[in-house]
Structure 1
Amino acid sequence: MDSNVLLQSHDLAVGYKGNSDKETVLHQHINVQLHRGEFACLLGPNGAGKSTLIKTLSGFIPQIKGRIAINGIDLSSIKRSQLAKEVSVVLTEKLHISNMTVFDLVALGRTPYTDFFGVLSKEDKQLVLKAIEDVGLSGFANRQLMCMSDGERQKAMIAKALVQDTPLIILDEPTAFLDLPSKIEIVQLLKKLAREKNRGILLSTHDLDLALQLADKIWLLAQGRALEAGIPEDLVLANGFRRFFEKEGILFDNESGSFKVEREQMKTIRVIGKGVEYKWLSHALNRTGYLTTKDEGNYPKIEVDSGANKAYILHQTDGSRHEMRTIEDLLLQISRGH
């Protein structure tokens, strides 16, 4: 086995047991790999079974069938004490801990290495402080968790996983309750840690746009479908996101790498220009139900002037000309012409 492979599954089936011990299989024939220095994102709609797969790969619940290897060792043969030195896990749950500092929380990550009484050595304390620094919380060691933002607390949880000194870190939707800037910051941090610390990091998330921009690999999971894995660009070109996420009226645009709401187009408008103003004007027109084109035809034309005197110049089919400074005013003028 390749020494760079940290996590590997072979013909894996995951699911759960009911009250009668009857097994319910959610997914089967899962064959995936995660390498050192690699940042992978597990994507899928709600109810797809992402958490079940994450907990199975982490050793929290047993697999129904197949094999999981961590660092080349069969997961079923790894003792709990040793597993804590191979994989660290960050789950979705929001922290509600009073009177605990960042240092106290992060120090819990050193538990697999301390003595029976959990006494931290001088080296342990240095490692804790370094982990706090590595996640961007320098100066926060003595800050109480209850006095921090959700994003800062989640960074502290990542520091705890980092100081556990495992080659593999698995996170189950750690950004689920964060605002957008905090989500971006956390995902960027995980990407950086994977590369700089040579860790294998697997993140389950709903944030497709961030995964497309930052993930080295993406795993796609949905009910009734075999898991698909690959680099983001190959999955886009193979229509993977269309197969897994498109619903009636919601389309995935392979060219832009984003979802679009399907609308009945009202009229065609010719748009001439370039730059960021051209892009967002086209976005506004498409959003309000117009089909934009660069081709000549018997329809209105808009010229985008991106110079110092930014303007949007509308030429109606009746020969009238209107010059506006904002896209909002332009949309109002277009609507008056109908």
Structure 2
Amino acid sequence: MSIQNSILQATDLSLGYKKGSKSNVIADHISFSLEKGKLTCLLGPNGVGKSTLIKTIMGQIPALKNQVYLDKKPTHSFSVKDLSKKIAVVLTEKINSANLTVKQVVALGRIPHTGWLGNLSMEDQQKIDTAIHSTHINYIEDRPMSELSDGQLQKVMIARALAQDGEILILDEPTAHLDLINRFEIMHLLRDIAKKEKKAVLVVTHDLDIAIDTADEFWLMQCGLPLVCGSPEDLILQSKIDLLLPNDRLHFDKSDGKVRDSAECQYPHMDGPEEMAKWVRLALRKNKISPEINSITIKTEGNQIGFYLRISTDTLKFDTIASLIDHLTTLGNNWKTREP
């Protein structure tokens, strides 16, 4: 953790809601440090308290115990206007802006600085143009919002938050309902913003694969447990990613970054290039085929790939993984291998 880059901190928070003299604790023992220049992903199952944590950070509800500190001051000591100059938020619900152009929506991000009258100074215009440029939406800035795709709409919302020019950018599931390409593009865009704009970017997400590819830091929330923080790579090696899984039957496979059923056969080493063997194992797992060791050899022959299956004294060659799987599926799991 870099103390110099830390902008938001908390130690041993209790989160929840008060009703009269009673407190409903949603999450406990929550400690974190959010750093500028880093993309941080908050992950955890539904109902564990992620939204409550975000609302507490935003100052919408007070912590039940201890405080969240922004620039070393409790967040409750900031006015709503001053806090909105520090923290910009992109939520899942869409704003009613179908008749506005992209640039007009991005300009709404300047409201904490201009007020609702919206008299934009030269500096405001520059912030708006920079936000549009940073999110690569120059080509649609004059188009109405009603004509945009879901991926474009999400970029506009991010641009509006950037125009707000806070030091912290919080996004609630920004890749939900997007296709694979747009999910990757949005997350890599957020990583670029964190690095180039020196923002502290906090993303609430269930998209584990893309979060591993893009995040500098993970915050893992699990019911009844303290918040676990660390780099994705360290948490993977420490088997902490398994905290996200609903039961002991599932585990995160460190070898290929996939969630596996613990009851699955652990496939042995295959003869041949490892980058190819990885995909053979995946196909075998998917089809619940349990081969014995040294039964499959992979050979490259020029631009061709050969998959050789040894059964008893016979060796069969297949040109594709699909044809190999079809053959094994036809045989069922009753076949045995032995040294010829």
The answer, yes or no, to whether TM exceeds 0.5 is: yes
Separation (CA, whole Å) in 1 of partners of 2:49 and 2:111:
30
Equivalent position SS for 2:155: helix
Q: What is the letter of the counterpart of residue 70 of structure 2?
A: I
Q: 1:324 maps to which residue? A: 318
Equivalent position SS for 2:126: helix
| Alpha-carbon offset, residue 2 of structure 1 | 4.0
| Alpha-carbon offset, residue 54 of structure 1 | 0.9
Q: 1:167 maps to which residue? A: 167
Q: What is the letter of the counterpart of residue 255 of structure 2?
A: E
Q: 2:283 maps to which residue? A: 284
Q: Residue deviations 1:163-218, cap 9 Å, x none?
A: 11111111121222222221111111111100101111111100112222221110
Q: 1:313 maps to which residue? A: 308
Q: 1:333 maps to which residue? A: 327
Q: Residue deviations 1:238-261, cap 9 Å, x none?
A: 221123425243221133332113
Q: 2:33 maps to which residue? A: 33
Q: 1:12 maps to which residue? A: 13
**Paired residues of 1:29 and 1:226 also in contact (CA < 8 A):** yes
Q: What is the letter of the counterpart of residue 284 of structure 1?
A: A
Q: Where in structure 1 are there 5+ consecutive unaligned residues?
A: none
Separation (CA, whole Å) in 2 of partners of 1:105 and 1:270:
55
Q: 1:124 maps to which residue? A: 124
Q: What is the letter of the counterpart of residue 58 of structure 1?
A: M
Q: TM-score w.r.t. structure 2 length? A: 0.90
Cα gap change, 1:95/1:325 in structure 2, threshold over 3 Å: closer, same or farther?
A: farther
Q: Which moved more, 1:54-63 or 1:94-103?
A: 94-103
Cα gap change, 1:321/1:159 in structure 2, threshold over 3 Å: closer, same or farther?
A: same
Q: What is the letter of the counterpart of residue 50 of structure 2?
A: K
Separation (CA, whole Å) in 2 of partners of 1:137 and 1:220:
32
Q: How does 1:144-223 map to 2 (within 5 A)?
A: 144-223=144-223
Separation (CA, whole Å) in 2 of partners of 1:99 and 1:171:
24
Q: How does 1:95-134 map to 2 (within 5 A)?
A: 95-114=95-114, 117-134=117-134
Q: Which moved more, 1:78-87 or 1:305-314?
A: 305-314
Cα gap change, 1:115/1:246 in structure 2, threshold over 3 Å: closer, same or farther?
A: closer
Separation (CA, whole Å) in 1 of partners of 2:80 and 2:246:
41
Separation (CA, whole Å) in 2 of partners of 1:182 and 1:264:
32
**Paired residues of 1:96 and 1:146 also in contact (CA < 8 A):** no
Deviating 4+ runs (over 4 angstroms):
267-270
Cα gap change, 1:220/1:264 in structure 2, threshold over 3 Å: closer, same or farther?
A: closer
Cα gap change, 1:305/1:78 in structure 2, threshold over 3 Å: closer, same or farther?
A: same
Q: Which moved more, 1:148-157 or 1:308-317?
A: 308-317
Equivalent position SS for 2:143: coil
Q: TM-score w.r.t. structure 1 length? A: 0.90
Separation (CA, whole Å) in 2 of partners of 1:86 and 1:331:
55
Q: What is the letter of the counterpart of residue 233 of structure 2?
A: E
Query: Percent identity of the aligned residues?
Result: 37
| Alpha-carbon offset, residue 16 of structure 1 | 2.2
**Paired residues of 2:222 and 2:243 also in contact (CA < 8 A):** no
Cα gap change, 1:10/1:287 in structure 2, threshold over 3 Å: closer, same or farther?
A: same
**Paired residues of 1:286 and 1:292 also in contact (CA < 8 A):** no
Q: What is the letter of the counterpart of residue 200 of structure 1?
A: A
**Paired residues of 1:301 and 1:314 also in contact (CA < 8 A):** yes
Q: How does 1:222-261 map to 2 (within 5 A)?
A: 222-245=222-245, 247-261=247-261
Separation (CA, whole Å) in 1 of partners of 2:97 and 2:107:
15
Separation (CA, whole Å) in 1 of partners of 2:164 and 2:238:
38
Q: Residue deviations 1:75-130, cap 9 Å, x none?
A: 11111111111111111214453201111111011112215622112331232122
Separation (CA, whole Å) in 2 of partners of 1:60 and 1:25:
16
Q: What is the letter of the counterpart of residue 300 of structure 2?
A: D
Equivalent position SS for 2:241: helix
Cα gap change, 1:21/1:154 in structure 2, threshold over 3 Å: closer, same or farther?
A: farther
**Paired residues of 2:271 and 2:298 also in contact (CA < 8 A):** yes
**Paired residues of 1:4 and 1:36 also in contact (CA < 8 A):** yes
Cα gap change, 1:95/1:328 in structure 2, threshold over 3 Å: closer, same or farther?
A: farther
Q: Which moved more, 1:48-57 or 1:326-335?
A: 326-335
